[in-house]
Structure 1
Amino acid sequence: MQYQLVAHMAAGLEALVARELKDLGYETRSENGKVYFQGDETAIATANVWLRTADRIKIVLGQFKATTFDDLFEGVKALPWDHYLPMDAAFPVAGRSVRSTLHSEPDVQSITKKAIVSKLSEVYHRRGRLPETGATYPLEVSILKDIATLTIDTTGSSLFKRGYRVAKGDAPLKENFAAALVMLTNWHPDMPFVDPTTGSGTLPIEAALIGHHIAPGLQRHFAFEDFRFIDPEILQKVKDDAMDAADWDVELDISGYDINQEMIEIAQENAKQAGLGNDISFKQLAVKDFKTDKPRGVIVANPPYGKRLGELEAARKLYREMGETYAPLTGWSKYILTADLGFEKAYGSKATKRRKLYNGALRTDYFQFWAQRAPKQK
């Protein structure tokens, strides 16, 4: 069966998710924070296992206009809930309403739930309450400008939860956001990759997963594994194919540094959990002490932003050290994420390009300093 599917992601990452889906063979249509595509049960499993930069994958059950609660009730009830939900299904309903006549989200949730119960009770000839003792089918009713959209979340815990991070430090990067930062660079697996403020190691680990062509969802579980209408063998085949697609032969040059030895130990443990303990070099090192004789490479950093009181001065001192340390590395591209708009002044150089991104709810800028092109061989 073909489904209307939608991938959700952080604002600013729509093009990356669309590119990932196109690489997987799906045609896409993008909106703010969403990329739509169509596919069968295998597509649901494939998107969940392979997408690096998305948050979750949902099945779109239906869309209709709803300006009254009667509209909402009848529109919800008309959908084929019995195709998706068995009689014992647990189906919590989350609700959102934005710029719509029906603005009370608790009432929207309640009416939606009642409509689904009414439909299933008729189909299954059930009197009284439905048991809801079976598998969980997370539902959402979202009303935007009076258009109601009903979805089932196939992912469960957000896709950023890869399953390898056993420990983390302060303000860690989400795994899918770290993957996006890597994918927005000019890095290729045959180039050196350096994270000078690695923290719990998420950036180097995501780079290594990309370098080895390892699907990010191999180690985790998904909500759809319990759905009655999806054959469990489908996910197993997708994971088996993903294991076969991994390229363990490629040699990677990936390093993560941090001034805090405790964070280095955490990063090493996380890399080990990801099966990449031998693929990444983690070492205690201050930014100002970094040296390399490699002519070309990529530096990706998520340094402290100095958002807390009294921390801005220390953050800008670090930015100055970065500028001074990296200035001689003309063959290297540097990509630095920060919420401090005074970054370029402290760094001592104007970025080649800036890209606005949201690290969670925080507006940040991705400052990009592109390498000088190597002279052509005569």
Structure 2
Amino acid sequence: MKKEFQIVATAAAGLEALVGRELRDMGIDCQVENGKVRFQGGQEVFMRANLWLRTADRIKLVLGQFPAKTFEDLYQGVFAIDWQDYLPLGVQFPVSKARCVRSKLHNEPSVQAITKKAIVRKMQKVYARPEGVPVPETGPVFSIEVAILKDQVTVLLDTSGDSLFKRGYRTEKGGAPLKENMAAALVNLSNWFPDKPLVDPTCGSGTIVIEAAMKALNQAPGLQRSFAFEAWPWVDQALWKMVKEEAKAAKKTNLDLRIMASDLDGKMVSLAQENAKRAGVASSISFKQMRLQDFRTDLINGVIIANPPYGERLMDDEGVTRLYQEMGETFAPLKTWSKFILTSDSQFEEKFGSVADKKRKLYNGTLRVDYYQYYGERVRRSESES
């Protein structure tokens, strides 16, 4: 078994730099590219990446890279990979995904079929199985993916299983949920630190404040879920146990956080509370059923992060316009507070009543959205108290 791997962390468009920053904070050197971040290391590295990355989608091993303009090129390139280093006899190895961009080979189902054929033939040869005898596939799943960009093929092995946004704490969600890794990204793109108050006045199922609390408490986002690699025979289970135990021990327990979440819908508030309990951060967040326009506070230097309903999410245009106007009026007196608001409405600033200091393009799933950022006037606490 190989001791060093070429590894890729995939990410939604616009979030790659955040994933790169997380990896560097973990002491892992990396290269940020469109849609992914490349790095390398042994089993411990891809274990920690799966367990700790908050803004990534998946962690994949790069098994091979080669040029291919014909199906024969593809077959030979896949066949040349040392599959015995990854696939023990008897495991399942579906070619679950193929993506072809600006390449001679563009029929993705055919790419999947040729790739599968080449792997099967290599497995038959390596394990001395006659060509006409099927290779058994009843064991753990090793999900293979093929990406072809400008006639360059990359063959990948998915270590994650379910996407990393599936933390395990959110079993129920509202009508237009924000993925956990996107919520974590909104927190990371804000100027919030654990010593500041944080408010989400349209909290829905509570994902933003839960992700903020988990980050503040240094709680690994993957502790409550499983990963595909855990079932692989060649993975060092003692090492994986150690990595998890270290993550459990790293959680902070005596941190005084001022995180507040509210929503007009009482059912959503109850749901958010349940999600926070399952995430293990309920004691760090205050939940309340409340209209957004009723929000008041004497605290200073706080941060508001919100993913309010917009046209494609739950509300009609008239309701959205009224909500954004109310947000602008309610937040206007909070001069020292920074506000970060995600929406697909291109007229948001006009409805909100002020132009953002900064605007960042993101994607909420396939929906193009903007993250409007308003920075508060920084005031020292002693000044406010004098």
- Fold-level similarity (TM above 0.5): yes
What is the percentage of aligned positions where both structures have the same residue? 56
Q: Does 1:106 align with 2:145?
A: no
Report the secondary structure of 1:315's partner residue.
helix
- Retained in 2: the 8 A contact 1:306–1:313? no
Alignment of 1:125-140 (within 5 A): 125-127=128-130, 128-140=133-145
CA 215–73 in structure 1, closer or farther in 2 if over 3 Å, else same: same
**What 5-or-longer segments of structure 2 have no aligned partner?**
none
1:308 deviates by 6.6
Q: Distance in 1 between matches of 2:294 and 2:375?
A: 22
1:307 deviates by 2.8
Q: Which residue of 2 aligns with 1:123?
A: 126
Q: Does 1:288 align with 2:290?
A: no
Deviations 1:8-50 (A, max 9, x none): 0100001100000001111111111100000100001000000
**What 5-or-longer segments of structure 1 have no aligned partner?**
none
- Retained in 2: the 8 A contact 1:83–1:229? no
Q: Distance in 2 between matches of 1:49 and 1:298?
A: 27
Q: Which residue of 2 aligns with 1:147?
A: 152
CA 39–375 in structure 1, closer or farther in 2 if over 3 Å, else same: same
Alignment of 1:198-209 (within 5 A): 198-209=203-214
Deviations 1:249-308 (A, max 9, x none): 111111110000000000011001111121111100111000000022000000011237
Q: Distance in 2 between matches of 1:239 and 1:359?
A: 30
Alignment of 1:1-378 (within 5 A): 1-93=3-95, 94-127=97-130, 128-307=133-312, 311-374=316-379
* TM-score with structure 2 setting the length: 0.96
Q: Distance in 2 between matches of 1:41 and 1:309?
A: 43
Q: Distance in 1 between matches of 2:123 and 2:349?
A: 59
CA-based RMSD: 1.3
1:373 deviates by 2.2
- Retained in 2: the 8 A contact 1:45–1:234? no
* TM-score with structure 1 setting the length: 0.98
1:156 deviates by 0.4
The structure 1 segments of at least 4 consecutive aligned residues displaced by more than 3 Å after TM superposition are 375-378
- Retained in 2: the 8 A contact 1:84–1:228? no
- Retained in 1: the 8 A contact 2:58–2:159? yes
1:375 deviates by 5.9
Deviations 1:41-100 (A, max 9, x none): 000100000000000000000100000111111110110100100110100002121111
Bigger Cα displacement from structure 2, 1-10 vs 230-239: 230-239
